[in-house]
Structure 1
């Protein structure tokens, strides 16, 4: 790749792709704009036209990460499968992403909470939770889950699944397969949501 790529409008995408690979492999601390420019065969000045500094690049990388994660979660919750199956698929998609891209996921959340976080990043980071709330609400309306605060149920589900993801990526499962841990956790959360109705009725 040469300077000519910049003039064809592909340099931003090339830098972002290379940054993804670099962070995926070595973490955000190892990321260098100058090295990225060298890797794709352009000057540092050319790369600076797209990313003024490292934080801007990390912001764009986080946007890309949330976009990919949202796409996976969106595919999981859509369709005509039973609500429980879609709920399981969404949880599995999240943990799978975390296991495949732990450094990327950490970068996504770090960039989201940075004081310089872009409006685009804030917006894309808030897409997944409403989709989960919508799934739970639809399950409630269909009678598969009891009535209740769908937002609260979604937060509980996210906390549980993110916990499994953290245990898996930090190698704290002591050899227990993350797939099995994910399945067991999601099953327990779903059963808890289902049983919440009977608990309310008998209270």
Structure 2
């Protein structure tokens, strides 16, 4: 189970049982928003730091595979975004639909691996995973919205991307190597990102209150 589902599913199950549909939709909206608040800058950071991280954490043989890291990171983000929509289908007990989606996704991933891995190796496996999770997220999202539509805060997503760009530029300029230096730069990057996000008014007071409530669950 993804980190989102661990917190979200018990909360929305309780709201659904008590027929609090507006509050349930608010939970879905904010859960996706708060996840992307961390996921978007993480993707930018991993894209810049991939070579440094592999050089620090692995042997020289793996450094050449640094392009795989941002692809896998994006795949992981899509997979976790999917879990917000997936929870709606779970809530409505669409188990047959869920099973069918998983089966098709597994078959699609297998076919892509058979085609891509012999040609471009581990990069092919990463690309097949990314494409599988992308299609998975889109299909689950469409089916979920048919049952229970909720607002996606695209304005916030754009602000998060805007805040991530200067953060990524600073990380690129600092170009850290070694575990300690990487951790220091990650701390600096976090300050830059959240500082810009606050200046852009990425959140309302109600949303801060919602986040505190979710963390207490």
Same fold at TM > 0.5 = no
Say which structure is richer in helix. Answer: 2
TM-score range, shorter chain: 0.3 to 0.5
Higher RCO, Cα 8 Å, sep 6+ = 2
**Greater gyration radius:** 1
